[in-house]
Structure 1
Amino acid sequence: MRRTAAALATVLTAGLAAGVPPAAAAEPSTCGTPADHQIADVQGSGTASPLTGRTVRVEGIVTADFQRPDQLKGFFIQDPTPDRDPRTSDGLFVYSTEEVAPGDRVLVTGTAVEYNGLTELSPVSAVDVCGTGRIAPARVRLPLRDGVDAPGVPPLERYEGMLLRFGQRLTATEVYRLGRYGEVTVSAGGRLFQPTDGHGSTQAGNDARRLLVDDGSNVQNPDTIPYTDPRVLRIGDSAYGLTGVLGHGFGEYRLEPTRTVRFAATDPRPEKPRHVGGDVRVASFNTLNWFTTLNRRGADTAEEQERQLTKLAAALKGLDADVVGLMEVENNGDTAVRAIVDRLNRDAGAATYAWVRHPYPGTDEIHVALIYRPAKVTPVGAARSAQDPVFDRPPLVQTFRPASGGTAFTMIVNHFKSKGCGGATGPDRDQGDGQGCYNARRVAQAEAIGALAAESENPLVVGDLNAYTAEDPVKVLTGAGLVSQTQRFVRPGERYSYVFDGQSGELDHALAGGSLSRRVTGATIWHVNSDEPVFLDYNTEYNPPRFYRPDAFRSSDHDPVLLGLDLR
């Protein structure tokens, strides 16, 4: 028999008339009809319910309500009399919009099923509200204790459907899907670093430290983006006491908060790069597909293109560098790079910046480019490149001398083959060592650049090498006598320029020959992009207009690298 709130009032009145104490009448210890299974029986000790396809009747306390059409269309319940098996969860999702509220004691009849990896009751034939109760959240810490679950069962499975509280500090380590799905990934012990970036992490260790925090909804592009008021969440911000129920969907366990999550600004925005000194400043910047041709790899519309160019110009002005190597510029002659220079000169004054014409840009849709300030440096000789077929995007090589006189140096601008696996064969296939596809190609490219640097005057190798610090291509370059300047000057916790799958790492490098290295006065990575959510970028689709700003933040997906040189 279904008991609504009105029915409970009738029971209470009858109970008082019969002399039954109010607490016993209003808050019975069990529902009138007994459950035929405990929630732990439905969950089982594996990843799937042992009762899949069977109709069951369970009793529990409602711990979370996500019944609205823009939410999960259901609610979570938890057994107030759990079993003593640590392998079996005592919580369960009920796919039903029968009205309930947190704290209700309910008797639910429905079919046990697995949906997107989540054990739930669906369809549901009856939801009887028969009292009230309270469930205290289980206190857990990441990483979870090993040795509890059966082999092959993920550690979080033991808590699926349960109300949890993480009492430790958890740090935002991925915000890529924040605007699109309302998701943020947090991790214990600070942000996660790529295992091949030399920070001592492992993939298994990273996976054990991470947790996906959702917004209780499967809706794409939610009207209200979580954690954006009064400021937008950045990777590196942190929260304490995350509390919610643990669900599962789209291949991941996900915490659906039941209390407001408040992130502290523990990674404040760097409004300007750190001081690097020197009399000549040099930078490297991946522009994230700056195209003047619309609807290709960059902007789709003239409005987006203007927004993109405005942000790129803001980043370049913020760097205030005298020479900048650029990656992912459209390979359409000088048109795309000229547009950048024209915008900078419009704001800074005519002829403030110029560009170096690439003598052999290759046939890829994108190429590397080089801009500079003629008042600060003067090109020495003609620009060079390499026609070695190992390069998908040939390097750009140019020697400069300070305009006021001093030591010359040679910029070697690169964009190595990406880690994507399209078309990879033989040694270019993923070797399972964490370096992704085409590592053999990148190694060969690094060897060619090392040889090119050896015959150049005071070489400075910069660019997106698509290789993290502890990977083979970077080792090849350092083995050739080049010295990483970010390794010298940037603290380990800040030594990253890109975030992929919630793991930070350094793809963008600056390596100097031995003699030039002694003239480097400082180096920094300006974190204006990798820590920021993508809905701040220039795109108009999916991005709420109120978040766009004509500033450097999320001007790209890579952070720029900046160096100071003492060439006097």
Structure 2
Amino acid sequence: MRVNVMSGLTRATAGTAVCALALAALVAGGDAPANATPATSVVINEVYGGGGNSGATYTNDFIELTNRSDAAVSLDGWSVQYHAGGATGTWQVTTLSGSIAPGGFYLVGEAKGAGGTQALPETQASGGIAMSATSGTVALVSGTTALTCADPAACQSASVDLVGYGTAALRETAPAAGASNTASVQRSDKADSDDNSADFTAGDPTPGAANAGSGGGDGGGGEPGPLRIHDIQGASWLSPHNNEHVTNVPGIVTAIRTTGSSRGYWIQDPAPDADPATSEGLFVYSTSPGVAVGDSVLVSGTVKDYYPLASGDTVQNTANLSVTEISGASASVLSHGEALPAAEVITPTTVPSAYAPDLGGANIESTPVTPDRSALDFWESREGMRVEVDDARVVGPSNAYGEQYVTTKPSQAPTYRGGTELRAENAVPSGRVEVVPVDGSDPGVSVGDVFQGATAGPVDYSLYGGYTIAATQVGTVRHKNLPPVVATPQSRRQLAVATYNVENLAPGDPADKYTRLAQGVVTNLAKPDIVAVEEVQDNTGATDNGVVAADQTLTKLTAAIVAAGGPKYDWREIDPVNDQDGGQPGGNIRVVFLFNPARVSFVDRGSSSVNRSTTPTAVRKLKGKPALSLSPGRIDPANAAWNASRKPLAGEFRFRNKPVFVIANHFDSKLGDQNADGRFQYPAQASAEQRAAQATAVHDFVGELQRVDRKANVVVLGDLNDYQFSPALSVLRTGSPTGHGRPILTDLISTLPRDEQYTYVYDGISEVLDHILVSPGVRGVRYQVVHINAEYTEQTSDHDPQVLRLTP
């Protein structure tokens, strides 16, 4: 079906053609008689009274006119008038001037509300009428005197055109339906029938453009406008036509997204230019697309560089990149069933080896798009265009939103189980890219699985995942069935110490989570003697009610371990001060020691009357050996390094009558750091300074233990929220962010083969967040990362545990 779209507007000049209706004179003091036959010239095209209301996109109400004749019409001396639509009340007037071209639009802005996010495009007239979003009447009048009519027939006779909507008593035959805060009433492309209910339908507001329901002018005969997609995208990161209204942009519809918060469709120009930096694809934002894949269309609307924003972000401070799109869009369908532009096949050598350029933290948007410079540049130059990856290996598992990651470079930094690994700061693997099916389906894949055949669709950008293939075609899944890792059990003479982030464990979690955590401890970790557990919430979970005790959480966990065939673990922990340790508000997460009293004993030290939440533990010399003043105890809890963060838990254990000091940690998270997939490169890590300060406190405490006994058995472990090559880990090991100090700890993850150095998978990147470090006095070290969660679509936690076996 053909859709009419906008052509240009001109100001009235001498000799401008006018239709007979425009020459009708007003009777002084009254309503002018007018021909009540269906309008064939200037008509009301769209009415929107929801501007600035809750949920609205546009900040203003508006009335839109269109010219259905083949000659320009002067609107000098005309007006649009509004009535509440009932049997009583008065008409409010907004005067018009200028002219409206054949097939053109004339936009009248009205009152502005407190809501909405987007201003109207350029208006040709403006008033201050506050129109109802749901019910009212608008008249187009060839005069400026307020109407006095109060019944439908008289008002229709007095008007050039009349539109009633909602429950309006003043209307043509019956009022149009469906007007709301988010929907206007819009004229269809059929001939005017003098029945508002038949001539108008509700849809997304389209000010200054053809209607979503195919209404409006003749669009200049369906000819392409002056701009092509590559002109709109330009050779820069932001469109050179941002916030401009564009008309009749040609393209082929390549994909439609009908789910999620960003609905709409992609178009691609089958006639590309020769500039590799300018994309030939574009997203059209529309909750009611009204087009089909393969349609050849002409799209009109407003160009927007849309930034996906996280909570608290603004366009000015977000680290995310933008998506160039057309919003408030309408489409004229020229033909159906056209062949889609061929998808560009991405091979292992297509994407540059660097993921992002080093700009010293500057905004990449201030540089030209350079497709061979980095992966970010490459994908930006293809934004909205169809691409294809064949036999793509999964490097990040499916999540609850149907998102997963594949690699276009199978040999780039591979892990031994099929992932792709982060091996240095700012060295994101450039082959990794997100895949999200546009139909909202969930492939349910894990790391190492393969999408056999072609996975194809237009290039998009998402809030958390960076550049994405919005897949219209997903390859057939070949599951690798990656086996979970099972640790080697400790011998009678070996002490086994593990760390496990249990991801906001609370009493209200499903029984299945407790069962699976218990199986992980019993089967996969092989019943370690000591387990440092991170992210244990209080007895009421995320309910922020002042409760800090976690005995119910720990009772459920230890009971589940017994039910799974494990030992009856005892525990030690220190309740935090309410809402002082970060994490999920109200959850009061903390680190906890679980230990098997049949194998290892805990040395309790210090008075029970001491407030251990705020009182620091200290290293004492007892009979020539180190001892803790408080066990369990916290390391320097008043230090500003621990503000809104978990405090380390230090404990003194005995195994085969040998002392072992264990320090459990959960360092400050990376929340608030700039996005590695974003516009600031390399991204600033605001959280790194706090982690380095935390590492300093723990390093110095370990140093105190070693000053008493340089052969002391010290194990530092937990979720440190940073990489093995990070400044924080250098500080923890050596006291220096550059690693030039004398090492007092060895980070065991770095002793593994390079392709095994990961504990976590984030956005398709296998990386290290969890660590076990040991002092030089620790002997007989055997260490394993136990992969049971992070690589799988079904997860009990987002972290993988790890276990150390040592011989004190």
Same fold (TM over 0.5): yes
In the alignment, structure 1 residue 214 sits paired with structure 2 residue 428: no
Q: Determine if contact 1:171/1:189 at 8 Å carries over to the other structure.
A: no
Name the CA shift for 1:118/1:355 in 2 (closer, same or farther; >3 Å). Answer: same
- Cα distance in structure 1, aligned partners of 2:255 and 2:304: 19
What's the CA shift for 1:227?
1.0
Query: Is 1:398 matched with 2:612?
Result: no
1:317 maps to amino acid: V
Instruction: Tell me, yes or no, if structure 1 residue 332 matches structure 2 residue 332.
Output: no
Q: Which residue number in structure 2 is paired with residue 478 of structure 1? A: 733
Q: Return the offset for 1:244.
A: 1.0
Return the match for 2:798 from 552, 557, 561.
557
Aligned twin of 1:372: 595
- Indicate how the Cα distance of structure 1 residues 60 and 386 shifts in structure 2: closer, same or farther if over 3 A, else same: closer
Which of 480, 486, 491 is the aligned partner of 1:273?
486
Structure-to-structure mapping, 1:165-180, within 5 angstroms: 165-167=388-390, 169-173=392-396, 175=398, 178-179=399-400
**Residues 445 and 247 (structure 1 numbering): CA distance in 2 closer, same or farther, change over 3 Å?**
same
In the other structure, the counterpart of 2:44 is none
Equivalent position of 1:345 in the other structure = 562
For 2:704 and 2:686, the matched residues in 1 are separated by 28
- Judge conservation of contact 2:448–2:482 (CA < 8 Å) in 1: no
Task: State whether residues 405 and 434 of structure 2, in contact with CA within 8 Å, keep that contact through their aligned partners in structure 1.
Answer: yes
Tell me: CA distance 1:182–1:131, structure 2 relative to 1, closer, same or farther (3 Å). closer
Residues 306 and 214 of structure 1: is their aligned pair in 2 closer, same or farther, counting only changes over 3 Å? Answer: same
Deviation string for 1:511-568 (max 9, x for gaps)? 2233323x12x211112222234xx4xxxxxxxxxxxxxxxxx22222111122346x
- For residues 43 and 452 of structure 1, the distance between their equivalents in structure 2, rounded to whole angstroms, comes to 60
Q: State whether residues 285 and 325 of structure 2, in contact with CA within 8 Å, keep that contact through their aligned partners in structure 1.
A: no
Matched-pair contact (CA < 8 Å) for 2:285–2:328: yes
The percentage of aligned residue pairs carrying the same residue is 24
Decide which of 770, 779, 789 is 1:529's aligned counterpart: 789
RMSD: 4.0
For residues 138 and 323 of structure 1, the distance between their equivalents in structure 2, rounded to whole angstroms, comes to 53
One-letter amino acid of the counterpart of residue 244, structure 1: G
Q: 1:325 to 1:82 in 2, by over 3 A?
A: closer
Shift of 1:410: 0.7
2:476 is the alignment partner of 1:259: no
Matched residue type, 2:570: W
The one-letter code sitting in structure 2 at the alignment partner of 1:528 is: I
Give the partner amino acid of 2:339. G
Deviations 1:321-378 (A, max 9, x none): 22222223346275543443333334538xx3232445x6653534332223333334
Query: For each residue in 1:415-455, what CA deviation from the matched residue of structure 2 results, as whole angstroms up to 9, or x when unmatched?
Result: 14313579xxxxxxx99468624134212222233225424
Q: Which runs of structure 2 are paired with 1:234-313 in the superposition (5 Å)?
A: 234-239=446-451, 241-248=454-461, 250=463, 252-266=466-480, 268-275=481-488, 278-279=491-492, 280=494, 281-290=496-505, 298=506, 301=508, 304=509, 306-313=511-518
- Tell whether 2:338 aligns with 1:132: yes
CA 1:482–1:254 in structure 2 vs 1: closer, same or farther (change >3 Å)? closer
Say whether the 8 Å CA contact 1:100–1:129 is kept in structure 2: no
**One-letter amino acid matched to 1:289:** N
What residue is the counterpart of 2:665 in the other structure?
A: 415
Output the CA distance in 1 between the equivalents of 2:592 and 2:260: 46
Match of 1:161 in 2: 384
Secondary structure at 1:438's aligned position in 2? Answer: helix
Letter in 1 for 2:474: T
Cα deviation per residue 1:207-246 (whole Å; 9 max; x = unaligned)? 74442322326xxxx6x4x112xxxx22454446431112
- Distance in 1 between residues matched to 2:276 and 2:669, nearest whole Å: 41
- Residue 762 of structure 2 corresponds to residue 487 of structure 1: no
Query: Closer, same or farther in 2 for the Cα pair 1:136/1:333, shift >3 Å?
Result: closer
2-structure distance, mates of 1:356, 1:436: 31
CA distance in 1, matches of 2:518, 2:302: 56
Q: Comparing both structures, which one devotes a greater share of its residues to helix?
A: 1
Quote the offset at 1:399 in angstroms. Answer: 2.3
Greater relative contact order, per chain length (Cα 8 Å cut-off, separation 6+): 1
Which residue number in structure 1 is paired with residue 698 of structure 2? 446
Q: Is the 8 A contact 1:446 1:476 kept in 2?
A: no
Mapped to 1, the partners of 2:728 and 2:327 lie a distance apart of 52
Query: CA distance change for structure 1 residues 565 and 185 in 2, over 3 Å: closer, same or farther?
Result: same
8 Å contact from structure 1 (residues 419, 438) kept in 2: no
- Structure number, greater radius of gyration: 2
1:277: how far off?
5.3
- Alpha carbons 2:667, 2:719 under 8 Å: kept: no
2-structure distance, mates of 1:332, 1:71: 39
Which of 402, 405, 419 is matched with 1:182 structurally?
402
Equivalent residue for 2:443? 227
TM-score by length of 1: 0.71
Compared CA separation, residues 110 and 192, structure 1 to 2 (3 A): farther
Alignment-mate amino acid for residue 451 of structure 1:
G
Contact 1:273–1:525 under 8 Å retained in 2: no
- Range that drifts further, 120-129 or 138-147: 138-147
Give the letter for the 2:760 counterpart. Answer: Y
**Cα offset, 1:188, TM superposition:** 4.0
Q: Distance in 1 between matches of 2:551 and 2:264?
A: 57
Letter in 2 for 1:447: H
Secondary structure, aligned partner of 1:214: strand
Q: Which residue of 2 aligns with 1:504?
A: 766
Go from structure 1 to structure 2 and tell me whether the alpha carbon gap of 1:158 and 1:433 turns closer, same or farther (over 3 Å shift). Answer: closer
Q: What is the CA-CA distance between 1:501 and the residue it aligns to?
A: 4.9
The aligned amino acid for 1:513 is S
**2:2 paired residue number:** 2
Aligned to 2:325: 119
Partner of residue 57, structure 1: 248
Structure 2 partner of 1:547 = none
- Taking a change above 3 Å as real, the CA distance of residues 485 and 271 of structure 1, as seen in their structure-2 partners, is same
SS of residue in 1 equivalent to 2:428: helix
Deviation at 1:33, TM superposition (A): 5.3
Q: TM-score, normalised by structure 2?
A: 0.52
2 CA distance for matches of 1:91 and 1:152?
18
Q: Are 2:791 and 1:513 aligned?
A: no
